[in-house]
Amino acid sequence: MMDTLEACDDSLVDALATMAEWQDGARVVRDSGAISVRGRSRFPTPYSNAVFPDRDADPGAVLDRADEVLSDRRYFLWTRGADGGKVGALARERGFALLDDLPAMVIEEPIAGVPAPSVEVNRVTDAAGFADFVRVSQLSYAEAGLPEEIAVSLLSRPDAAIMSSVIAVGRIEGAPVAAALSITNALTAVGGVYWVGTVPSARRRGAADAVTRYVTNAAFESGALTVVLQASPAGTPVYQRLGYREVGRYARFLSPKRG
């Protein structure tokens, strides 16, 4: 069984490749010691126009190749450790901006208990449910700087997303207010939780807890032995209450402006 940090890395690589299939025109490149995702849109996000190096990859080779693959756009660079390690050090020298560092969190058993009774959670299985998921994601991530049209472009192939993940939407009084999904790799037995969001008007009502609980347990039911996520500052307390624990950090950089 892989260690917890390796599981976090594995899930992130798997998520980058899997979510690239959810948008029209995306391209995945795996060489020079990294995975790179070139999106149809030029807008940089953590999962499109993004690069994640392998462990022990040569920093110069990684950044040179990333600049080649993503030559006409800025991109996100994921690195390990709060300071980004050797890749982060070289990125700083080349003018990359450090955006944040996020905790890598894991859980190794299903979450017990029940969510808030006011939140009804259902799995997305059709286009209508997926449209609710997209709308919740648009409203949830707008505050983080993700334009609504970019959220739509990242989630433009509902059939691919529904087939390769478990997507949950939480509703309060029938209105969709929260969403999350999990992607489970059957070969590595690692699940990853992504796209957790709650619309601003419904926060602090247990909705994020409910959808995270649902997709986490769904990953275990799909065969995961470990489930991981990368937590935002707002989400960290929610995940800790559910039983997730921090095992490392990821620093994220944004490449310099072109031209």
Residue type at position 240: Q
Query: Distance between CA 79 and CA 87 in Å, rounded?
Result: 7
My answer on whether 92 and 60 are in the same domain is: yes
Query: Distance between CA 11 and CA 250 in Å, rounded?
Result: 13
My answer on whether 81 and 170 are in the same domain is: no
pLDDT, position 225: 96
- Residue 240 covered by a domain: yes
Radius of gyration of the chain (CA): 18
Q: Are 59 and 77 in contact (CB under 8 A)?
A: no
> What are 77's two structure tokens?
């660079």
Which domain covers residue 192, as residue numbers?
119-247
- Residue 8 covered by a domain: yes
| Sole residue written with tokens 């993940």 | 165
Shortest CA distance to 215 belongs to which of 234, 236, 197? 197
My answer on whether 74 and 128 are in the same domain is: no
- Residue 90 covered by a domain: yes
My answer on whether 205 and 88 are in the same domain is: no
Phi, psi of 244, deg, nearest 5: -70, 145
CATH of the domain at 91: 3.40.630
Shortest CA distance to 19 belongs to which of 190, 187, 182, 139? 182
- Residue 113 covered by a domain: no
My answer on whether 147 and 225 are in the same domain is: yes
Number of residues that this document lists for the chain: 259
My answer on whether 21 and 126 are in the same domain is: no
- Residue 25 covered by a domain: yes
pLDDT in tens, 98-111: 999 999 999 999 99
Query: Distance between CA 12 and CA 76 in Å, rounded?
Result: 13
Q: Is 235 left (phi over 0), alpha (psi -120 to 50) or beta?
A: alpha
My answer on whether 229 and 125 are in the same domain is: yes
Q: Are 74 and 43 in contact (CB under 8 A)?
A: no
| Assessment of whether the complete model's pTM goes beyond 0.75 | yes
My answer on whether 56 and 124 are in the same domain is: no
My answer on whether 148 and 224 are in the same domain is: yes
CATH of the domain at 217: 3.40.630.30
- Residue 110 covered by a domain: no
Residues of the chain with pLDDT under 70: 1-2, 259
pLDDT, position 224: 97
pLDDT, position 1: 46
What lies within 8 Å, CB to CB, of 228 at 6+ separation is 4, 7, 8, 11, 104, 105, 106, 107, 190, 191, 192, 193
My answer on whether 57 and 156 are in the same domain is: no
Residue type at position 232: S
Number of structural domains, the chain? 2
Residue type at position 96: F
My answer on whether 41 and 153 are in the same domain is: no
My answer on whether 96 and 144 are in the same domain is: no
**Burial classification of residue 82, based on how many CB atoms lie within 10 Å of its CB (0-12 exposed, 13-18 middle, 19 or more buried):** middle
